Structure 1
Amino acid sequence: PKEFVRARFLQFACILVGYSCYYLTRNSLTFAAPVMVATPGLGLDMTSIGVVTSIFPVAYGMSKFISGVVSTKVSARVMLGGGLLVTALVNLAFGCSSSLLAFSVLWAMNGIMQGFGAPSCAKILTWWFATKERGTYWGMWNIAHNVGGFTAPILAGTLARNYGWRWGLWGPGLIGLVVSLFLIAFVRETPKAAGFPPVEQAEDKKKKEEEAKTKAEAEAAKEKEGGKEKEELSMLENLTQNVLSNPRIWGLALCYFCVYVVRQGITSWSVFYLLDAKGVADAAVAAVRVAGLELGGLCGSLVAGKLSDWAIKTWPDAGATGMRLRVVMLYMVGILAALFAFWAVPGEIGWAQPAIVFMIGFFLYGPQMLIGLCGAEIVGPKSVGASEGFLGWIAYLGAANAGVPLALVVKSYGWDAFFAVLAAACALAMVLLSPLVNARSYVQRLEDKARLAAGA
């Protein structure tokens, strides 16, 4: 129905714009920081800024895990809009502060509130979009990372340079404030909350009429046997029984760890690599050469989502989650090839480095998006937030290991060892995924049970 299409478009627009604003308010300090260091009255240097920014990933990783668990009991509308509201207020308060202690406390608060965004968006995507199309829309939502990443230097950086560092925080904060109120007013967590039937029934109704009937019968039998108790699991029980006890989730989490080692390793150290090993003249030139990473990531996410949906439609009887993970493994091979090119191509070929970095971003962001999607599809809808929170926490442990540990690798053994570690992470990710290439989604497992119940 047209009303449903409009309602779903509104929900998608909410999570796309909303999560872009999360990224905007997350990255505002990065582009206001140089102006802060150059402001004599603050008395800050690069070490001081490092203290403030190093607090963020620790707070964010833990928050993403905890908020994912809490999201099973809290409305996605409240978490998504409320989280953005607080992080916007933190940006405004940061711009009004002047001490290192206040900066550190406020940025830790920002990290905590930032963790509310992704689990909420994952829940909305899972409820509003059917399995056969979810990869495409998840990939489209994933470009919010890139939209926010593009907007932050343009908005925060320009405001900070032209009007002072405080406006580098106030500008993103004011935008986040307005968008958060919009989210609170218009987000609806499920189609049912907006007056529509569940999407898996609304989509392709004729084709699945009989399966829906047998599924309903199986669900009714299940409820008699204690299904109601299962629906009323506490947050901790939901986490332990539906997420932490699932070996597939652990396989995805460890793979995510490896992907984030590579992602953070490239984003943190590629400029230094070009300066140190490829003879690039200065940091500005090196920054231009790696600027295509986000653009490549945007394209790679969209293609990965479309490709995984195509694979599921082409082989409908195969495990849907497994088909997406095969695309992830294909992308991991692409990352290995792009990393080899980044290491091997001479720095004198100036045009080649931006093209290679674009391809690294293309192949890197596809797995980042699809692993999160697979984590949502493997568990039931009520456990999506917990699953995404757990995966996000493990991912940021990987990101943390791409900081000081990789710096020590480069310092002790050189850049060849750096690329060897990244290649090993890619290879390990593929090994971890190989047992999951036939994994069936939660919806498919329900349908399998319904068929068995109907035939019994």
Structure 2
Amino acid sequence: MERDYSGLKKEERAQWEFWDKDYNRWRNQVFIILWITYGAFYLCRVNFSIAIPGIMKEFGWSKTQLGAIGTALFWAYAAGQFIHGQFAERFSSKHYLFTVIILSALMNFLMGPIAAVGIFLMGVVWTLNGFFQAGGWSNCIKTLSQWFPPKARGKRMGYYGACYQVGNTLSWLLAGSVIASYGWRAGFWIPALIFAVIGFLPLLFLKNRPEEVNLPPIEVYERYGEFSGMTIEQIKATIKPKTEKEEHAGFAFTLKQTVGNPRVWAVSWAFFFVDIIRYGFLLWAPTYLFEVQKAAIDKTAYKVVAIPLFGIAGAIFSGWASDKFFQSRRAPISALLMGALGFLAIFFYYGVPKDAWLLGFIVLGLIGFCVLGTQVILIGAVPMDFGTRKAAGSAAGFIDFFGYIGAGMAGVFSGVLTDAWGWGAAFWFWIIAAFLSSAICFGLWSYKPPPGKYL
């Protein structure tokens, strides 16, 4: 950040330059650690789908039975998002992350031996895994909000959103590789071992807030509001000792910033519809390509991978564009991307010929660009802006709760609609969801959270 120090005394200038250098270093370190940490959560989340064929072969359990276990993780994750979001504000994020990582890894270690006891207990263990997995996102968002001001959150969250696309892809590859070589049980305990080791990254190297490394709070450093005219000595007085816990704003404050904020509800419903189309395409696009477009399995996989690949670019673009063109307002870019997504889905269903491999790849990629570009804005930058650093984790948990309700509905309703009325019904389910999300975001076009005490 470029600052004008021309009017300051030599000692004051030296102090500000020191803070600038340290803030920049710690911001980068915190960002990288949280990027790796959250990407690693997928090691112990997506491995179940890769292990299903081996489990079915050994125990003879049906797709319906194992599908119910997969769905249980969704619902546990949704409930966990809201619960963890509220409690994340009260506890140290580095310790919270370490705890839920170790517990999630433990659940994965148990999946192999518990299968011999029965499918019900396996379902219980995987449900608990979903609950512990839900403790990751809200704590990451809470910590990022402590370090980055609103004017930088869009761009940073764009880059941050790439972590779970990369993590998802690498986790699939790892699970597939170890299961092929060592059996389905290895698909749980090997990722769990890696995940547990990565859990020590935040525990040892993450800083929850600037004061922990003798830096001023973000409002003071950014000279925000009442802090704009403070002297060096006054600023130093705001830096709490490392041993002193950050003051919790209270559940009344966090609930007011989330449940009591109509615009957070609006964003939550917009995100509900985003995840319907996101998981609709992620879950059902391969089957559609295989059944309707008669694509071979290998070409189907190559096409579908366009969604996360283009999605990384979409996440980076949407975060940058919201800061660059819309003065850090998040709704405009979300409205435009979801509107474009609706038309792209229409074109993909009605306008892409069966043999147009490259065109199908590009259109699917653009769908991924739009849906994941919107997703990272609504679940990343918006909770930090609306909740402020004092309730960002709570807002993220509340919004993501709605998203995973939509994700669960995408799997069930898309299948029901396809069985009853064909693929056209499922596509229009997704298309309508895209336009509804766009409409909600258009309604928030000019809104920007008013200045408050906290950034």
TM bin (shorter chain): 0.7 to 0.9
Structure 2 CA distance, aligned partners of 1:384 and 1:247? 16
Trace 1:427-442 onto structure 2 (pairs within 5 A): 427-441=435-449
Structure 2 CA distance, aligned partners of 1:171 and 1:354? 33
| 8 Å contact kept, 2:389–2:454 | no
Structure 1 CA distance, aligned partners of 2:135 and 2:126? 15
1:191 aligned to 210, 217, 233, which one? Answer: 210
Structure 2 CA distance, aligned partners of 1:67 and 1:447? 21
Q: Root-mean-square deviation (CA), in Å? A: 2.2
| 1:46 Cα deviation from its structure 2 partner | 2.5
Trace 1:274-423 onto structure 2 (pairs within 5 A): 274-280=289-295, 282-312=296-326, 315=327, 320=328, 323-343=329-349, 344-372=351-379, 373-423=381-431
Trace 1:437-448 onto structure 2 (pairs within 5 A): 437-441=445-449, 444-446=451-453
| 1:396 Cα deviation from its structure 2 partner | 1.0
**Structure 1: gaps of 5 or more residues:** 215-230, 449-456
| 1:28 Cα deviation from its structure 2 partner | 1.5
Structure 2 CA distance, aligned partners of 1:303 and 1:286? 26
Structure 1 CA distance, aligned partners of 2:92 and 2:288? 44
Matched, 1:212 2:231: no
* Residue of structure 1 equivalent to 2:48: 29
SS of the counterpart of 1:244? coil
Structure 1 CA distance, aligned partners of 2:23 and 2:283? 43
* Residue of structure 2 equivalent to 1:224: none
* Residue of structure 2 equivalent to 1:95: 112
Structure 2 CA distance for partners of 1:134 and 1:234, relative to 1, 3 Å: closer
| 1:380 Cα deviation from its structure 2 partner | 2.8
In terms of mean alpha carbon deviation, does 431-440 or 10-19 score higher?
431-440
Whichever residue aligns with residue 330 of structure 2, its letter is R
Matched, 1:48 2:55: no
* Residue of structure 1 equivalent to 2:87: 70
Structure 1 CA distance, aligned partners of 2:146 and 2:454? 17
| 8 Å contact kept, 1:31–1:152 | no
Structure 2 CA distance, aligned partners of 1:155 and 1:3? 37
Tell me which protein shows more helix as a share of its residues.
1
Structure 2 CA distance for partners of 1:266 and 1:9, relative to 1, 3 Å: same
| 8 Å contact kept, 1:258–1:425 | yes
Structure 2 CA distance, aligned partners of 1:209 and 1:426? 38
Structure 2 CA distance for partners of 1:438 and 1:164, relative to 1, 3 Å: same
Structure 2 CA distance, aligned partners of 1:25 and 1:210? 45
Structure 2 CA distance for partners of 1:209 and 1:110, relative to 1, 3 Å: closer
**Structure 2: gaps of 5 or more residues:** 1-19, 231-246
Structure 2 CA distance, aligned partners of 1:361 and 1:413? 25
* Residue of structure 1 equivalent to 2:17: none
Whichever residue aligns with residue 440 of structure 1, its letter is K
Whichever residue aligns with residue 198 of structure 1, its letter is P
Structure 2 CA distance for partners of 1:209 and 1:388, relative to 1, 3 Å: closer
| 8 Å contact kept, 1:379–1:441 | no
* Residue of structure 2 equivalent to 1:143: 162
| 1:168 Cα deviation from its structure 2 partner | 1.1
Matched, 1:253 2:264: no
Structure 2 CA distance, aligned partners of 1:365 and 1:248? 21
| 1:305 Cα deviation from its structure 2 partner | 1.0
1:181 aligned to 189, 196, 200, which one? Answer: 200
Matched residues, number: 416
Whichever residue aligns with residue 346 of structure 2, its letter is F
In terms of mean alpha carbon deviation, does 192-201 or 362-371 score higher?
192-201
| 8 Å contact kept, 1:82–1:184 | no
SS of the counterpart of 1:438? coil
In terms of mean alpha carbon deviation, does 112-121 or 289-298 score higher?
289-298
* Residue of structure 2 equivalent to 1:217: none
Structure 2 CA distance, aligned partners of 1:394 and 1:447? 26
The C-alpha deviation readout for 1:164-184, integer Å capped at 9, x for no partner, is 111111121111111112221
The C-alpha deviation readout for 1:141-191, integer Å capped at 9, x for no partner, is 111111111111211110010111111111211111111122212221111
Whichever residue aligns with residue 49 of structure 1, its letter is L
Matched, 1:20 2:46: no
| 1:121 Cα deviation from its structure 2 partner | 0.7
| 8 Å contact kept, 2:109–2:192 | yes
Whichever residue aligns with residue 425 of structure 1, its letter is A
Structure 2 CA distance for partners of 1:165 and 1:234, relative to 1, 3 Å: same
Whichever residue aligns with residue 361 of structure 1, its letter is G
| 1:414 Cα deviation from its structure 2 partner | 2.1
Structure 2 CA distance for partners of 1:4 and 1:272, relative to 1, 3 Å: same
| 8 Å contact kept, 1:84–1:114 | yes
Structure 2 CA distance for partners of 1:447 and 1:440, relative to 1, 3 Å: farther
SS of the counterpart of 1:161? helix
SS of the counterpart of 2:160? helix
* Residue of structure 2 equivalent to 1:123: 142
| 1:58 Cα deviation from its structure 2 partner | 0.8
* Residue of structure 1 equivalent to 2:432: 424
| 8 Å contact kept, 2:248–2:390 | no
Whichever residue aligns with residue 192 of structure 2, its letter is G
| 8 Å contact kept, 2:390–2:454 | no
Structure 2 CA distance, aligned partners of 1:201 and 1:232? 18
Structure 2 CA distance, aligned partners of 1:447 and 1:439? 18
| 8 Å contact kept, 1:155–1:171 | no
SS of the counterpart of 2:410? coil
* Residue of structure 1 equivalent to 2:288: 273
Structure 2 CA distance for partners of 1:65 and 1:210, relative to 1, 3 Å: closer
The C-alpha deviation readout for 1:35-64, integer Å capped at 9, x for no partner, is 3323x3x34343332132121001110001
In terms of mean alpha carbon deviation, does 409-418 or 327-336 score higher?
409-418
| 8 Å contact kept, 1:253–1:391 | yes
* Residue of structure 2 equivalent to 1:222: none
